[in-house]
Amino acid sequence: MAKQDFFETEDGADIERVLLQMATDEGYHTKSSYSANGELYPDNKISFVEKHKRYLRTHPSTNPQHYIANLRLMTRKNIKVK
> pTM to 2 decimals?
0.86
Cα separation, 26 vs 1, in Å, equals 42
pLDDT digits (tens, 9 = 90+) for 39-72: 988 899 999 999 999 999 999 999 999 999 999 9
Q: Helices 64-75 and 48-58: crossing angle, nearest 10°?
A: 140
- Host H or E run for residue 71: helix 64-75
* 19 within 8 A of 48, measured Cβ to Cβ: yes
